[in-house]
Amino acid sequence: MHALISRLADAFAMLGGVILAAIVLVTTTNTGAFILDRIVAPLGRDVAGLPGYEDFVKLAISGAALMFFPYCQASRGHVAVDLFVSNAPQRVRWALDRAWLLLTAAVALFLAWWMGQGLLEAKGDAAEAGVLGWPIWPFYIPGIASLVLWALTCLSQMIGDHNYA
């Protein structure tokens, strides 16, 4: 089960990377249009930026940012402070590691629950992006799924026999 969750965390990070690459591509295109507009404006020409650029970036980054958390947890990439526990007995380190994993899983599930509430509210209000007119609620789904996967990653690490030193 731990291997499946780790592979899923990898897939989420890859998808998050693809979304970030799309954001960079759209941003570069939009910036290029603005630069080109300044160059050709004295010639009486006009080059418009991408309509809805801000909407797209705001909606895309909202899910992509959270998609890296499960991978970071799976690779134990989070900051750990071992200054006070590095010389503690192995059982103490094991217990502290499990307690922090449980707390992190609880926080991730708490945030997922609140994002779920936000999704329901955005859907109920029929909230839309200002320029593009896209419904906002579907963009909550990757973030909620990422938070749930983050919690599952923590729980699988609690059950598994992983490094904690």
Q: In the prediction, which pLDDT does 109 show?
A: 98
Percent of the chain surpassing pLDDT 90: 62
Judge whether residue 165 has pLDDT over 50: no
Q: In the prediction, which pLDDT does 49 show?
A: 83
Closest to 28 in 3D by CA, of 50, 2, 11: 50
pLDDT in tens, 96-109: 889 999 999 999 99
Give the mean pLDDT of the chain.
90
Question: Mean pLDDT throughout 54-77?
Answer: 91
pLDDT in tens, 5-34: 999 999 999 999 999 999 999 999 999 988
pTM of the model: 0.85
